[in-house]
Amino acid sequence: MDDRAKRFRAWSALEGRQEIVSPETVLPEDDLVFFLLDTIPQLDLSAFYAYYSTDGRGQPPFSVEMMVTLLVYSYSVGVFSSRKIAAACERNLAFLAIVGPDRPDFRTISEFRKHHAAAMRPLFIEVLRVAGELGMVKLGNLSTDGTKIEANASRHKAMSYGYMLKELARLENEISQLLAQADRVDGEQDAALGSRRGDELPEELKRREDRLARIREAKARLEAETRARAAEEQRERDAAEAERQAAGKKRRGKAPAPVDPTPGDKAQTNFTDADAKIMKRSNKGFDYCYNGQAAVDGANQIIVAAETTADANDKRQAVPLAKAAMANLAAAGIERPRDEQGQPLPIPNTADTGYYSAENVQGVAEAGLDPYFAVGRDKHHAPQADPPAAASSTPADSGGTADENPKAAMAKKLRTATGRVLYAARKHIVEPVFGQIKRVRGFRKFLLRGLELVSAEWQLICLTHNLLKIWRHVSSVP
């Protein structure tokens, strides 16, 4: 080898194995894990302790502060599986800084996450309170949107309504034949062997009856959901017709067919997660999903309200999300902006056309927000209409009259200078938040099943988003 060849540093594998490594000496002083170790124990975790108040059985559980910190840190850095969290506790310095030598296994982590689902909302409020105390929530523009997140349910574990009817008929026929066969066998055995107990049930009959019961339950669930959806659609039709008549417009084309309250043959339900619904995902076709909703403050992208629904349509989420946002702000002690007389001002609330209806505008305004909802999709490169001479904070005053068509009034309100500025800000308030959650942290699929547990997991995801924003805000302060 050439004497001028590159020289390398000395390395001894044995020396590296024997070295004692401390997270505090290796990780940066301002690392996220140290921030959470200081912050989480200061929060009110009484909702987590409530679970243990009546259960004195078994070995002492792991520390609540430790388990909450572990879950929050895991979801913050994109580690969601309980098995991967448990593995990280064995070999990752940041995780070791949290759990120490007494490490929970994956089942303990999974059960803690499920058992404390009800405590996630109070924890979300606690984190929101911290953001408010740091002045990170300004309430100058609350932007609302939703995102489809895949459910933990396979498309292969679903059945359509039409197939259910055929399967029910087939199973009922097979069970009848098995019962007749069992009666015949009983008669033959009674004649040959005398009396028997009579409570035995053939294995084949057990399996078919279990399957029949599950299909009947799924059929009833699908029929109830369809009836509720039909009633909602009829109510929306009646509201649209009333709005059309108030505006003096005639219906174009034929009247729509009456709403059918029975499921179509292609309507599906899932046996793995009955609450999940088939939804269209951007550029990915259809899959079983939940719709994660969020109301985000424009100042620092702090999520003020986080809700989950099994409805693919956002139309029915505007008012519940507005009420949740106001309730969370009140619970977190964040005061609304006030005018010179000390009266609370409506908080601007921007949302896309998927949330608009005259009913939603009224409901959001009654909740204490000032809605700026798009009433339709703008064509690209279309000339912009001149804004009204004066901007206004309410639809009725935004350049129109009190009895003006609500849709026209909202469109005029969005064309004001204030409306244009507020609505244009949506693209850098709420939409990047979903990108940070789904692409940066990699949360694209719920791990839990059922709307209640999925809602808790969405609260956990959103509160960790807020904690990351708080950590970066605190770290940037000199």
CA 370 to the chain's CA centroid: 24
Q: How many CB atoms lie within 10 A of CB 155?
A: 12
Quote the distance between the C-alpha of residue 101 and its chain's center.
34
Which pLDDT score, from 0 to 100, does residue 385 have?
56
Tell me the pTM. 0.78
Residue among 46, 44, 48 nearest 126 (CA): 44
Q: Do 346 and 370 contact (CB within 8 A), yes or no?
A: yes
Q: Report whether 153 contacts 449 (CB < 8 A).
A: yes
Question: Could you tell me where the beta strands, DSSP code E, fall in 239-393?
Answer: 268-270, 277-281, 285-297, 303-309, 347-351, 369-373
Q: What is the pLDDT of residue 390?
A: 44
8 A C-beta contact, residue 434 and residue 139: no
Instruction: Give the pLDDT of residue 391.
Output: 42
Is the C-alpha dihedral spanning 311, 317, 321, 323 positive or negative? negative
Q: What is the DSSP string of 7-68?
A: P-----HHHHHH----HHHHS-TT-HHHHHHHHGGGS--HHHHGGGSS---SSPPPPHHHHH
Q: How far apart are CA 178 and CA 472, in angstroms?
A: 67
In this structure, the chain runs to a length of 478
For the chain, the straight-line distance linking the first and the last C-alpha, in angstroms and rounded, comes to 53
Which run of H or E residues covers position 359? helix 358-367
Residue 395 pLDDT:
42
pLDDT at position 150, please? 92
Please identify every stretch of the chain with a pLDDT value under 50, giving residue numbers as ranges: 1, 193, 196, 198-199, 381, 389-402
Write down the H helix ranges in 157-297: 161-193, 203-246
pLDDT of residue 265: 64
Pick the closest to residue 120 from 472, 452, 475 (CA basis): 452
Tokens of 50: 């409530």
Alpha-carbon gap, residue 55 to 38, rounded angstroms = 28
C-alpha 423/C-alpha 409 separation (Å) is 15
Rounded Cα–Cα distance for residues 109 and 99 (Å) = 12
